[in-house]
């Protein structure tokens, strides 16, 4: 299948190995990495963040090779500077007030407009882009994929701590990001023209100057036929990242197959889907979500298994069955958030949680 190409971005923490605090790398990691991988490693708004991005990949096997290569490179370059990298949705105890903003006009503009909402946005996500031949098809698939976002998000939860506190959430990252405008689950759009007209209205009325300032959990690219899924925390393990990428790809392929058969999945109201997103953030895979068809609560784990059953008939064509098997291990051993909390429960020491994150960010490479 050439329809469902993939590209993946991961955002990493840059950590001082002595204090375990976030620390600015003064863009040295990015500068060094760009000599190796050109534009695949980029700066982010905060100087203690490094973002990596794969090339366009045909399948999850290629994604795995790229993700491993990029994690390995930034880890080695960080090590050369006596720094570590870590993969989690938030740092367990660093305070955003202590972090420097990157010296770039775009970031300065965002901070100038959004003030502390932007300065405090010290979070780390996973972005998965799935390619389609047309934006018309992409908006149709994105509308239906919204329902499944909380299910996949629950598997990625990896940010239980914020500024030294156990927040009680499995993913507090999304609570931090909620302060931004134009975030969360979007409405469904009747056509790509309706979506484009919405963007044009925002630009015309000076809400935004370009469509990249729409930060929804799922978004069709303003120019290309790709769907960007932005809801997930950055997973700790490569295997977790690849499993989640495989889920998004297979979901898109399944919804596309239904469309080709003149069938469609129900477009549920944004307000209903948000109920499930809140539960995913709060409880991860250990809670219940609403099955809107049955109009009743169901264990999140059961809904994840139902999702795996739904996509099963497209998995072999995509070649991602082995990668999807890791979803069962997440259900068995817990998400990154569950493992962070387990480490904390052993000794009530958040520095040991940071050490756990940094060591496991590189496991499997």
pLDDT digits (tens, 9 = 90+) for 212-260: 889 999 999 998 889 999 999 999 999 999 999 999 999 999 999 999 9
Tell whether 192 is covered by a domain. yes
Element spanning 174, H or E: helix 173-177
The Cα 51–Cα 39 span in angstroms is 10
pLDDT digits (tens, 9 = 90+) for 134-162: 999 999 999 999 999 999 999 999 999 99
Q: How far from chain centre, in Å, is Cα 50?
A: 14
Per-residue burial over 91-104, b = 16 or more CB atoms within 10 Å of its CB, e = otherwise: bbbbebeebebbee
Overall number of domains in the chain = 1
Q: Where are the beta strands (DSSP E) in 16-162?
A: 41-43, 49-53, 84-86, 125-131, 161-162
Element spanning 200, H or E: helix 192-204
Do residues 252 and 4 make contact, with C-beta atoms less than 8 angstroms apart? Answer: yes
Which residue, 3, 4, 79, 72, is CA-closest to 41?
Answer: 72
Per-residue pLDDT at 123: 95
The Cα 146–Cα 184 span in angstroms is 10
The Cα 41–Cα 117 span in angstroms is 25
Q: How confident is the model at residue 107 (pLDDT cuts 50, 70, 90)?
A: confident
**Helix boundaries (H) for 284-318:** 300-318
Here the CATH number for the domain that contains residue 162 is 3.30.590.20
Tell whether 1 is covered by a domain. no
Element spanning 299, H or E: strand 296-299
Tell whether 233 is covered by a domain. yes
Per-residue pLDDT at 2: 58
Partners of residue 12 on adjacent β-strands: 50
Q: How confident is the model at residue 44 (pLDDT cuts 50, 70, 90)?
A: confident
Tell whether 88 is covered by a domain. yes
For all residues of the chain together, what is the average pLDDT? Answer: 94
Which residue, 270, 360, 275, 257, is CA-closest to 311?
Answer: 257
Tell whether 355 is covered by a domain. yes
Tell whether 188 is covered by a domain. yes
- State the pTM of this model: 0.95
At 126 the three-state DSSP class reads: strand
Tell whether 139 is covered by a domain. yes
Do residues 284 and 335 make contact, with C-beta atoms less than 8 angstroms apart? Answer: yes
Percent of the chain topping pLDDT 90:
79
Lowest-confidence region among 28-42, 199-213, 286-300: 28-42
Per-residue pLDDT at 196: 94
Tell whether 244 is covered by a domain. yes
For 179, the domain range is 6-361
Partners of residue 227 on adjacent β-strands: 130, 220
């Amino acid at each position: 299948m050439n329809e469902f190409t993939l590209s993946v971005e991961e955002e990493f923490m840059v950590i001082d190995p002595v204090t375990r605090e976030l620390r600015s790398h003064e863009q040295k990691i990015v500068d060094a990495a760009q000599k190796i991988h050109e534009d695949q490693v980029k700066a982010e708004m905060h100087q203690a963040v490094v973002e990596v991005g794969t090339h366009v990949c045909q399948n999850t096997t290629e994604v795995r090779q790229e993700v491993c290569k990029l994690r390995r490179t930034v880890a080695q370059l960080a090590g050369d500077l006596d720094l570590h990298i870590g993969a989690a949705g938030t740092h367990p105890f660093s305070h955003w007030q202590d972090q420097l903003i990157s010296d770039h006009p775009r970031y300065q503009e965002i901070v100038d407009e959004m003030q502390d909402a932007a300065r405090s946005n010290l979070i780390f996500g996973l972005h998965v882009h799935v390619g389609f031949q047309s934006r018309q098809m992409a908006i149709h698939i994105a509308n239906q994929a919204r329902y499944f976002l909380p299910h996949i998000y629950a598997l990625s939860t990896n940010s239980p701590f914020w500024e030294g506190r156990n927040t009680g959430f499995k993913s507090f990252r999304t609570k931090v990001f909620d302060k931004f405008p134009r975030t969360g689950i979007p409405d469904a759009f009747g056509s790509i023209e309706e979506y484009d007209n919405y963007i044009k209205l925002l630009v015309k009325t000076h809400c935004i100057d370009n469509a990249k300032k729409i930060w929804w959990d799922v978004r069709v690219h303003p120019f290309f036929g790709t769907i960007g899924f932005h809801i997930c925390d950055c997973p700790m393990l490569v295997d977790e990242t690849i499993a989640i990428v495989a889920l998004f790809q297979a979901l898109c392929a399944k919804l596309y197959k239904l469309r080709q058969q003149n069938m469609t999945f129900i477009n549920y109201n944004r307000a209903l889907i948000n109920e499930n997103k809140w539960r995913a953030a709060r409880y991860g895979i250990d809670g219940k979500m609403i099955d809107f068809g049955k109009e009743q609560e169901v264990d999140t784990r059961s809904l994840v298994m139902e999702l795996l059953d739904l996509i099963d008939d497209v998995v072999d064509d995509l070649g991602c069955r082995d990668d999807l098997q890791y979803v069962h291990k997440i259900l068995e051993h817990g998400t990154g958030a569950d493992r962070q909390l387990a480490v904390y429960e052993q000794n009530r020491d958040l520095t040991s949680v940071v050490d756990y994150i940094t060591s496991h960010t590189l496991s499997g490479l």
